[in-house]
Amino acid sequence: MKTTEAPAAKPRRRGRDLPGRRGGYGRAKGTPNKVTVEIRKLAQSLTFDNPRYLERIRLGLENGTLDTALEIRILEYAHGKPPQKIELDVPESPVVAVARAFWESLSPEERKTQLDFVRRRRALAESTIVDVIPGGRGG
């Protein structure tokens, strides 16, 4: 039986700026792929730079025979996308329902008194520091 040894791993070359890469290779960041640029130019020449294509779209819009998805897309480009609103119907927890019922049962003066009490209690909790020493010995 033959035993084969794994080939020795090549040492990685490290550039000064980026570990594991040598500078100067590849596309600069943000440069589009050449194929993408060529396809985009071809698509523009066949569509938006082509007066017959634009006339066909115009007639389709006027006659109502244009594909609905394309018509919607044109309207979005012309007037902007309409805002989408999402409404969630989350059931209220029983604790919140009781608290809401209690709050609504209070008069405006009682509500003010409750809010003042909560504010004072919160301020007291934030300002009070208690040092507790194990064994009950004071220092």
CA distance 18 to 4: 35
pLDDT at residue 101, rounded to an integer: 92
Residue 76 predicted with pLDDT over 80 = yes
pLDDT at residue 13, rounded to an integer: 56
Q: 35 and 42 in contact (C-beta within 8 Å)?
A: no
Percent of the chain with pLDDT over 90: 24
pLDDT at residue 119, rounded to an integer: 92
Mean of pLDDT values over 48-65: 90
pLDDT at residue 115, rounded to an integer: 92
Residue 8 predicted with pLDDT over 70 = no
Q: 66 and 60 in contact (C-beta within 8 Å)?
A: yes
pLDDT at residue 113, rounded to an integer: 93
pLDDT at residue 37, rounded to an integer: 85
In degrees, rounded to 5, the angle at the alpha carbon of residue 92 between the alpha carbons of residues 88 and 97 is 150
Going by the DSSP 8-state scheme, the letter that residue 132 receives in this structure is -
Can you count the helices (H) and strands (E) in the chain?
Answer: 5, 0
pLDDT tens across 17-44, in order? Answer: 555 556 667 777 888 788 888 888 888 8
pLDDT at residue 48, rounded to an integer: 82
pTM of the model: 0.36
pLDDT tens across 79-124, in order? Answer: 889 888 888 888 889 999 999 999 999 999 999 999 999 999 888 8
